[in-house]
Homo-oligomer: A and B are copies of this chain.
């Protein structure tokens, strides 16, 4: 349970690698993929998602590639994980608005809320800078 998918793992590996490179250096996707051992086409999809929400900035054409969208200490593990895996929701009940028909009388609900906030809290305190340095 609660297992990160391979996509999430690849995402972390890829962007942590990018964070470990010189800030101003544009990285080729194919180089990143090779460095972190991820299928390039799959990593491309992941970086497209990153790009859409500004986690990375992309450049097309000759000399193109990727750099981080903001400083490595302003990107958290939570940002990365939620970018590709979607919001951290241990149970459908936790989704605001779309509450199950049992939610009002459901004692389990607050437990999942707690889990959600704890996990988000942990992931939000870890930045790419820390992960890339170490």
Which residues does A use to contact B, with CB under 8 Å? 1-5, 8-9, 12-13, 16, 77, 81-82, 85-92, 102, 105, 107-108, 111-112, 114-116, 118-119, 122-123, 126, 130-134
Which residue of the partner chain, among B16, B108, B118, contacts A108 with CB atoms under 8 Å?
B16
How many copies of this protein are present in the complex?
Answer: 2
Residues from chain B with a CB closer than 8 A to the CB of A88 are 1-2
Most interface-central of A8, A111, A130 (chain B CB within 10 A): A111
Q: How far apart sit A18 and B32, CA to CA, in the bound complex (Å)?
A: 52
Q: How far apart sit A118 and B120, CA to CA, in the bound complex (Å)?
A: 11
Q: Is the CB of B2 within 8 A of A90?
A: yes
Q: Is the CB of B1 within 8 A of A108?
A: no
Secondary structure call for the A interface: helix
The 7 residue pairs across chains A and B that have the minimum distance between CB atoms: A1-B85, A107-B134, A2-B2, A107-B131, A4-B91, A2-B90, A118-B118
Residues from chain B with a CB closer than 8 A to the CB of A77 are 108, 111
Q: How far apart sit A87 and B92, CA to CA, in the bound complex (Å)?
A: 20
15 A-B residue contacts at CB 8 Å? A1-B2, A1-B87, A1-B89, A2-B2, A2-B119, A3-B91, A3-B92, A4-B90, A9-B91, A12-B108, A77-B111, A108-B131, A111-B123, A115-B122, A119-B119
